[in-house]
């Protein structure tokens, strides 16, 4: 992120802009109040949750969850737990947010805070929303598999499904781009991933190989706003750049070394992540012939993913998302990611029958 830690002036307008354009799966939310900075040094905001997240938060409150433990690996890095607390005094809520990063104090609300600027705060809010969604559907599927599902579970599921159009991948148009301008290709692909609802704007990375070089999105960048956030690096050798490349650079590099492909996209489509969590073995397919590799494997994704990509062209990392590679442009990998996500969503609801 580009925020300056400890900045005295918080850019509220920038946060509003991020909320309006950065959340793929929900409409803009309202900021209820700001508090806490004089006590903790953090900018702490209370937000209203748009649907379906408002209904999901009511589910966890009614089921008397004391905390949400993110089940996807990315969210767990930032928010290991999200306390679910009945409405309490402001000072107590500030203390909870200061320790946990986010808290659900009542149905339809969430409070989160950061000592950095708007982008950091937005990132935590977006991660909290993503965690709630994945945890909800993962919980329902596990309760069904264990024979513990109740009528109330189905009631909430039916309510959430009324908003399914908000998180269903949209059809994509063929990208008409200048293949000689690699940064513009990547920028266009990033905007397409977000607009097609394949990823939230911060959940993923994109790269393109050109000869002995790799162009890749910067770490922590917003995929729908990659202007000046693309790093050019050698395919082999040390990394020297003023920009920090995606933390999954070595996965991308090794895919290019193992295949003839020229494009790689990685994202966290919702039901691909959810269904992967139901996979019991490393090589168990999510659906069809798409393999799943463990994101916790000691050998590392930079080795597991390229080998599976070489065999299959696509691979899912358990609880972490999907990697797709393709030819000269990004159309093939974008369409494949959308196809896999739609298939996973259909398969998920079949398992509840």
* Residue 144 in this model has a pLDDT that exceeds 80: yes
pLDDT at 95: 85
Q: What is the pLDDT of residue 141?
A: 96
Mean pLDDT of 227-256: 90
The CATH 3.40.225.10 portion of the chain extends over: 182-351
- pLDDT for 3 equals 42
Mean pLDDT value of segment 70-90: 87
CA distances from 258 to 43, 75, 288 (A): 45, 29, 23
Position 131 scores a pLDDT of 93
For the structural domain made of 182-351, what CATH number should be given?
A: 3.40.225.10
Averaged over 209-222, what is the pLDDT?
A: 93
What is the pLDDT, as a whole number, of residue 299?
57
Tokens for 25?
A: 């799966």
pLDDT of residue 174: 65
Looking at the predicted structure, is the pLDDT value of residue 143 above 90?
yes
CB 273 within 8 A of CB 284: no
Query: What confidence score (pLDDT) does residue 146 get?
Result: 94
Give the pLDDT band (50/70/90) at residue 270: very high
Which pLDDT value is given to residue 22? Answer: 55
Tell me: pLDDT of 5 over 50. no
Compute the average pLDDT of residues 280-289. 67
Question: How is residue 16 written in tokens?
Answer: 């509003």
Residue 45 has pLDDT above 80, yes or no: yes
Which tokens belong to 104?
Answer: 């659900």
Q: pLDDT higher for 329 or 67? A: 67
What average pLDDT does the structure give for the chain? 86
User: With 50 as the cut, is the pLDDT of residue 2 above it?
Assistant: no
More confident of the two residues 57 and 167: 57
- Two tokens at 305? 């993913």
- Which residues, 6+ apart, have CB-to-CB distance to 119 below 8 Å? 1, 2, 3, 14, 18, 220
Rg of the chain over CA atoms, in angstroms?
20
Tell which residue, 336, 333, 317, has the closest CA to residue 325: 333
Question: How far is 352 from 86, CA to CA, in rounded Å?
Answer: 31
Give the model's pLDDT for residue 262. Answer: 94
pLDDT at 282 over 70: no
Distance CA 213, CA 17 (A): 34
What torsion do the CA atoms of 59, 64, 70, 71 make, to the nearest 10 degrees? -80
pLDDT at 134 over 80: yes
**53-62 and 151-161 are packed helices; what angle lies between their axes, rounded to 10 degrees?**
170
Question: What pLDDT score was predicted for residue 46?
Answer: 87
Per-residue pLDDT, averaged over 165-193, amounts to 83
Class of domain 12-166: alpha beta
């Amino acid at each position: 992120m580009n925020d300056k830690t400890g900045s005295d002036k918080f850019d509220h307008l920038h946060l509003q802009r991020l909320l309006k354009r950065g959340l793929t799966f929900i409409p803009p939310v309202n900021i209820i109040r700001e508090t806490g900075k004089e006590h903790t040094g953090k900018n702490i905001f209370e937000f209203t949750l748009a649907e379906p997240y408002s209904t999901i938060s009511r589910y966890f409150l009614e089921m008397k969850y004391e905390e949400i433990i993110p089940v996807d690996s990315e969210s767990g890095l930032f928010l290991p737990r999200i306390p679910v607390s009945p409405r309490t005094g402001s000072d107590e809520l500030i203390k909870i947010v200061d320790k946990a990063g986010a808290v659900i104090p009542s149905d339809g609300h969430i409070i989160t805070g950061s000592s950095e600027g708007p982008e950091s705060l937005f990132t935590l809010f977006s991660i909290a929303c993503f965690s709630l969604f994945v945890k909800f559907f993962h919980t329902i599927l596990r309760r069904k598999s264990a024979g513990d599902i109740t009528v109330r579970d189905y009631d909430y599921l039916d309510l959430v499904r009324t908003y399914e159009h908000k998180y269903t991948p949209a059809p994509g148009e063929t990208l008409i781009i200048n293949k000689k301008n690699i940064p513009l290709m990547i920028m266009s692909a990033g905007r397409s991933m977000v607009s097609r609802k394949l990823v939230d704007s911060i959940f993923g990375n994109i790269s393109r190989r050109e000869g002995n070089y790799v162009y890749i999105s910067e770490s922590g960048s917003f995929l729908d706003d990659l202007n000046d956030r693309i790093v050019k690096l050698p395919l082999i050798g040390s990394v020297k750049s003023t920009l920090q490349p995606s933390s999954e650079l070595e996965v991308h590099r090794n895919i290019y070394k193992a295949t003839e492909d020229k494009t790689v996209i990685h994202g966290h489509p919702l039901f691909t992540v959810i269904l992967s969590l139901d996979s019991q073995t490393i090589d168990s397919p999510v659906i069809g012939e798409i393999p799943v590799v463990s994101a916790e494997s000691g050998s590392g994704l930079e080795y597991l993913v390229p080998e599976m990509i070489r065999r299959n062209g696509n691979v899912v990392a358990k609880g972490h998302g999907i990697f797709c590679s393709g030819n000269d442009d990004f159309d093939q990998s974008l369409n494949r990611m959308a196809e896999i996500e739609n298939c996973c969503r259909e398969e998920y609801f079949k398992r509840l029958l």
